[in-house]
Amino acid sequence: MTDDSNPAPLPPIVVPHTELSADALKGVIESFVLREGTDYGERDVPFETKVLQVRGQLERGEADIVYDPNTESVGIVLRR
């Protein structure tokens, strides 16, 4: 007898940044930068600079946009 009330979690889905509209991509990146609150060391880096850095990582293939269907959330992760 199997317990179907707790199905296995679904795997995350990589969403190519090129598949998002310009506005959607900007929103995902800005949300990520605000949520992460990354520490850049001794110098304070302006928000727009952080957004441009993340956009560059996506464009260079250093990072991916990932959708988690289990939590219905979107994040950006560095590639290994």
CATH of the domain at 58: 1.10.10.610
pLDDT of 40 > 60? The answer is no
Take residue 39 and report the two structure tokens written for it: 């520490």
**Percent of the chain having pLDDT more than 90?**
75
Q: Tell me, what's the pLDDT at 42?
A: 64
Q: Tell me, what's the pLDDT at 5?
A: 76
Domain membership of residue 4 (yes or no) is no
Domain membership of residue 34 (yes or no) is yes
Domain membership of residue 55 (yes or no) is yes
pLDDT of 11 > 90? The answer is yes
Domain membership of residue 54 (yes or no) is yes
Domain membership of residue 5 (yes or no) is no
**Percent of the chain having pLDDT more than 70?**
88
Q: Which domain holds residue 43?
A: 13-78
3-state SS, one letter per residue, for the chain: CCCCCCCCCCCCEEECHHHCCHHHHHHHHHHHHHHHCCCCCCCCCCHHHHHHHHHHHHHCCCEEEEEECCCCEEEEEECC
Domain membership of residue 38 (yes or no) is yes
Count of domains for the chain: 1
Q: How many Cα atoms sit within 13 Å of 17 on the Cβ side?
A: 21
